[in-house]
Chains A and B, each alone.
Chain A
Amino acid sequence: MNRSVEYLLRRLGFYSLAAMVAITLNFMIPRMMPGDPAQIMFARFKGEMSPAVITAMRETFGLTNDPMWQQYLTYLKHLFSGDLGISISNFPKPVISIIATGLTWSIFLAGSALIISFILGTSLGALAAWRRGGILDSIMPPLLALLGAFPYFWMAMLVLFVFGFGLGWFPLWHAYPDGTSPGFNSPFILGALYHAALPAATMVIASLGGWMLAMRNTMIGILGSDYITYARARGLTSRRVLIRYAARNALLPNITGFGMALGFVLGGALLTEIIFSYPGQGYLLIQAVRAQDYPLMQGLFLTITLAVLGANWFVDIVTLLLDPRTRR
């Protein structure tokens, strides 16, 4: 087990290095681009701003005339104390609080969609492989592949149009109903679930086929292996062979896929959130781009990068726990 810990720490070291590179790039890129946030603000106020205000604003955004390395150190200091700067489009809200809200909604929406889709897809895939050539195996994969083949935005817009606009069964936008206040109260929680249902459903429909097919195919390979034949020959019950010998082993490659998808959840489901006007990370990103809100964009890119790295590390841990062959 010590070796496993050592391995995890080594991976963590690697991911930290990657994170440092990302943080540094995040610092450099905006400084290499023409213009700066203060100028954008200046333009937005159509020149009705005195030069003194601009200097003050530049300082607020961390753009001083200090040498680069000093700016970098200040940037790092702020970063590690959780200060990602001030948003331009939502001036003077700090970026970190905007991202915190967006992240919460994204994790809630895309996270639950991912978990539902993963559990449902892998179970269906395992069953389809187990009863290979059966009804489930003949109908589901082509059907889901067909659904997955539609352009996602088109499918999502269609669903929104039919069930939201046409039939009026689901709300058209936002994450929770007007008149409720976020917190642990049932109108808010039920409202949030109600608002998330339709976008989450579209995400599940679009991704289910992938999970199912991946699981089905690895599982079919596993079912042909000798230890399955041998487990059956030993008189183990079918259920036990299915769960402990076949599905468990077939799940391993899919865990990696799950981890990667998890990383992207924290970046928000861009198209879903745009189409359903859902206030998650993806929606924030598009808003930030439209408003040329550099600090917000920077913050979002940084959280997405860190999330993907974190998810990778999480996958490393889970794989290590589930597959003894990776422990040395």
Chain B
Amino acid sequence: MNLLRVENLKVDYLTPDGVLQAVDNVSFEIKQGEILGLVGESGSGKSTAAMAAMRILGPPALIAGGRVIFKERDVLKMTAEELRRWHWQDVSIVMQSALNALNPVLVIQEHFVDTINAHCPEQSNGEVLERAAKLLKMVDIDPRYLKSYPHELSGGMRQRIVIALALALYPQLLIMDEPTTALDVVVEREIIKRVLQLQKEMGFAILFITHDLSLLLEFATQLGVLYAGRLVEIGPVEVFRRGGVHPYTQGLFQAVPQLHGAREAFKSIPGSPPSMKNPPPGCRFHPRCPLAEERCSKEQPELKQIAQEHQLACHVRSRD
């Protein structure tokens, strides 16, 4: 069953120079207990899409169109109070800047108390603290740190605490927006391993956003590739393990050094991501695409089903 369905989501940023379409017609679905990964370069709109789906974007961002359905509830039509209740009870987020996500003048415990009280005011203080201690243990942090201030903890610890905080109300969907980008590789691995264990135990779904494609291949069940605000390819992770079909996806793979197999030349995608203020016509990837044809610069390719659950937006590849 679908937990979250995002349909033709459009997000605009209102800038002094005009409207910037950060997310253009993005659709995806997350089933219960599934892990959907969204990959893309900086500025591809992946974080914006996730935050828009959760409706936590403030001005100058504006949801310009589309629908977000969470278990048959229309998220974009929720009132402020409904939204407030929906947040954290059903969906929670670990933000990109999780290191700065904690209020520097409150001890860790207060963050848990505030969060749990906002949703379950009937819980006694003792119960809340007990739950907070349990949550910290879940992410391998000694509960005595409940009394610490954020600045007294290391980056990895703060990140774990933010994850524990995100799980405080046992949500069904956890959005992780580049949760480990600021951490070193060893800590990153440990944290992801722990999150995956918890995911198996508790059965929540994850929307994992990153620019690290190889990381996603290890644990995602579905994968979506964003380029300049549009989804270019989305499908089961197996498709991507085989290297993907869209020329951009393939380009991303060539930019990752291979540890196994024959040594190949390390190729980066030529050119740079387009300006979102003035995106190229047609397929937005065509100026950098090795396969581009005349049609690509004129007609915008739509996402088309090319196999079971596998969708692609490419004129050339969907014809082959």
| Chain A interfacial positions (CB closer than 8 Å to B) | 225-227, 229-237, 240, 244-245, 248-249, 252, 322-325
Besides A227-B104, A236-B118, 9 new A-B residue pairs in contact (Cβ under 8 A), listed by A number: A227-B101, A231-B114, A234-B92, A235-B115, A244-B114, A248-B105, A325-B104, A325-B105, A325-B151
Q: Tell which of B85, B87, B103, B107 touches A227, judged by Cβ atoms closer than 8 Å.
A: B103
Contact A244 B106 (CB under 8 A): yes
Q: How many residues of B contact A (CB 8 A)?
A: 29
A229's closest neighbor in chain B, by CB? B56
Binary flags per residue of B60-100, CB closer than 8 Å to A gives 1, else 0: 00000000000000000000000011111100110101001
Contact A232 B56, CB 8 Å, known A226-B95, A226-B97, A237-B84:
yes
**Are the C-beta atoms of B93 and A233 separated by less than 8 Å?**
yes
User: Is the CB–CB distance between B104 and A324 below 8 Å?
Assistant: yes
Q: Which residues in A have their C-beta under 8 angstroms from that of B151?
A: 324-325
> Do A323 and B105 contact each other (CB < 8 Å), given the known contacts A230-B95, A235-B89?
yes
- Most chain A CB inside 10 Å of its own CB: which residue of B86, B97, B107, B114: B114
- In the complex, whether B31 has a CB less than 8 A from a CB of chain A is no
With A226-B97, A226-B100, A229-B95 as given contacts, are A236 and B115 in contact (CB-CB < 8 Å)? yes
Identity of the chain A residue whose Cβ is nearest the Cβ of B148 in the assembled complex: A324
B58: nearest chain-A partner, CB-CB = A229
Cβ of A244: which chain B residues have Cβ within 8 Å of it?
103, 106, 114
Q: Are B104 and A235 in contact (CB under 8 A)?
A: no
Shortest Cβ gap from A137 to chain B (Å):
14
Within the assembled complex, what's the spacing in Å between the Cα atoms of A234 and B56? 10
Question: A244 vs B119: C-alpha distance in the bound complex, in angstroms?
Answer: 17
The 10 sampled A-B contact pairs (Cβ below 8 Å) are A230-B102, A233-B87, A233-B93, A233-B95, A234-B118, A234-B165, A235-B85, A235-B88, A237-B118, A324-B104
CA distance A323 to B114 in the complex (A): 19
Question: Is B54 close to A, CB under 8 A?
Answer: yes
Residues of A contacting B56 in the complex (Cβ-Cβ under 8 angstroms): 229, 232-233
> In the complex, what residues of A have CB within 8 A of residue B165's CB?
234
Given A233-B54, A233-B93, A244-B106, answer yes or no on A324-B149 (Cβ-Cβ < 8 Å).
yes
- Known contacts A234-B118, A236-B118; is A249 also within 8 Å of B104 by CB? yes
Q: What are the residues of chain B within 8 A of A249 when measuring CB–CB? A: 103-105
Give Cα A252–Cα B95 distance, bound, in whole angstroms.
26
Q: How far is the CB of A34 from chain B (nearest CB, A)?
A: 55
User: CA–CA, A235 to B95, complex, Å?
Assistant: 15
How far apart are A120's CB and chain B's nearest CB, in angstroms?
Answer: 23
Q: Which of B183-217 contact A (CB under 8 A)?
A: none
Docked pose: A240 CA to B110 CA in angstroms: 12
Chain A residues, CB < 8 A from B95: 226, 229-230, 233
